[in-house]
A = this chain, B = another copy of it.
Amino acid sequence: MSPSPSSPPHAPPADRVISAGWVVPVIPRGAVYRDCAVVIAGERILELLPRAEAIRKHPAAKFLHLPDSLLMPGLVNAHGHAAMTLFRGLADDLPLTTWLEQHIWPAEARWVSADFVADGTRLAIAEMLATGTTCFADMYFYPDEVARVARQARIRAQIAFPILEFATPWARDADEYLHKGLAVYDDNRGDPLLRIAFGPHAPYTVADATLERIATYTEELEASVHIHLHETAREVAEAIATHGERPSARLHRFGLLSRTTQCVHMTQVDASDCELLATTGASVIHCPESNLKLASGFCPVHRLRSAGIPVALGTDGAASNNDLDLFGEMQTAALLAKGLSGDPSRLGAAEVIEMATLGGATALGLDTEIGSLEAGKAADMIAVEFTDPGAMPLYNPLSQLVYTGCGRRVSHAWVAGHCVLDARAHQTIDLPALTARVREWRDRLAGNTR
């Protein structure tokens, strides 16, 4: 299978040609091109060409050829709490309420600060870039720090500022969350790689009046809403008891379900939810490993997709996963869909790759910009190296990507044409300095000086 050339007649000159043994463009779905080149002009993809043709057509460009590797769009991790990497492994294998109330919330109250968020986010970005994620959606305190660190690391991000009714180290009440969040929104307007979204934490932590204000702001600003929704059966049951309606219906009542709403988790989906999501165009972020680890329930991915609802993939935070490897998440999503449905043909490799790339881009409203390797899109791309014994033999690159743990095989990552991971070496993060900082946090949190 070969791509057809597509550069417009008056295109800018190509400055780089990156070619590989295999290219998975995601669009067309299931396509795998052999010996194909991605031609880049500045931040964008100019065209995809057979390698030999690219060499003939763009002799002045800088060439990189990776014969044993595969090029594909960078992955989109559509839900997480990046800074929580600093809590990785702090508390596991515990009932949900014990975990939250006796471990995570007290740790957040005690430790979360601007510095904590900066270091934790940088650690998360280092892990994500190294495992193939070039765009992440975040929801955490100190979103200004998240934005600053993401900008330094030159990774693409949607940063949702959190909104709650109760006090945390970042803000006292809904009013202050909104006030500070809007400032972050203004400060980052126009950034080519960053988008600021509204992050009402969950229906059960945000009051009606606040939901109403969020609806007003987001409509006016055309901003996205990122919210934990229907994470557990208990959440839905308690909402019905308190509000007399399902959380999805309550959000809809305030006009908060729309094409720019990202509903995270959705393990509880009845016919009314499905219809609401489908008619409003809201998307769902599926976090299978977090849902399994916290025993939250199962998101009915196949039913949602059959109803035309966009579904993206997220790792959630490292405290409930405990890694940020979206390749692992793809594998878990595919295996779980098959196992639960009793149908091994469910959520095949091409479909789950689409969820982790274009699906994420669509959920974040970035599908005209990223999510596939197509002329005109930003050059957000990764290279996956198929040389270790676990990657051989190679019959079907799509199967190999999903079912053989490819996070470890990512060698290169580019964001908007800029190389951020080069032969496994971080180009925008000082790893030794970061390691030293993380060890300091570790010793402080563990209460010893090692």
Residue contact A292 to B338, C-beta cutoff 8 Å: yes
In the complex where A89-B394, A295-B339, A335-B293 touch, is A325 in contact with B405 (Cβ < 8 A)?
Answer: yes
Residue contact B438 to A88, C-beta cutoff 8 Å: no
Residue contact B131 to A95, C-beta cutoff 8 Å: no
- Selected from B96, B339, B404, the residue in CB contact (under 8 A) with A322 is B404
Question: At the interface, yes or no: A441 with Cβ under 8 Å from chain B?
Answer: yes
Question: At the interface, yes or no: A332 with Cβ under 8 Å from chain B?
Answer: yes
Contacts of A294 in B (CB 8 A): 338, 344
In the complex where A405-B325, A431-B389 touch, is A90 in contact with B395 (Cβ < 8 A)?
Answer: yes
Q: Which of A419-450 contact B (CB under 8 A)?
A: 431, 434-435, 438-439, 441-442, 445-446
Question: At the interface, yes or no: A63 with Cβ under 8 Å from chain B?
Answer: no
0/1 string, A322-358, CB within 8 A of B gives 1: 1111001001101110110111111011000000000
Question: At the interface, yes or no: A280 with Cβ under 8 Å from chain B?
Answer: no
- Selected from B88, B335, B395, the residue in CB contact (under 8 A) with A446 is B395
Question: At the interface, yes or no: A22 with Cβ under 8 Å from chain B?
Answer: no
Smallest CB-CB separation from A350: which chain B residue? B93
- The interface size bin for chain A is 35 or more
CB proximity of A297 to chain B, nearest CB, Å: 8
Question: At the interface, yes or no: A130 with Cβ under 8 Å from chain B?
Answer: yes
Smallest CB-CB separation from A122: which chain B residue? B389
Contacts of A348 in B (CB 8 A): 92-93
0/1 string, A289-333, CB within 8 A of B gives 1: 101111100100000000000000000000001111100100110
10 pairs, CB–CB < 8 Å, chain A vs chain B: A85-B389, A86-B393, A88-B395, A89-B403, A293-B339, A323-B405, A328-B405, A336-B339, A393-B438, A395-B446
Q: B-contacting residues of A (Cβ < 8 Å)?
A: 85-86, 88-90, 92-96, 99, 123, 126-127, 130-131, 289, 291-295, 298, 321-325, 328, 331-332, 334-336, 338-339, 341-346, 348-349, 387-390, 392-396, 399-400, 403-405, 407-408, 431, 434-435, 438-439, 441-442, 445-446
Given contacts A332-B335, A392-B435, A405-B407, 16 further A-B contacts (CB under 8 A): A88-B392, A88-B395, A88-B400, A88-B404, A89-B396, A92-B396, A92-B403, A93-B349, A96-B344, A127-B388, A130-B390, A293-B339, A295-B342, A323-B390, A389-B431, A395-B445
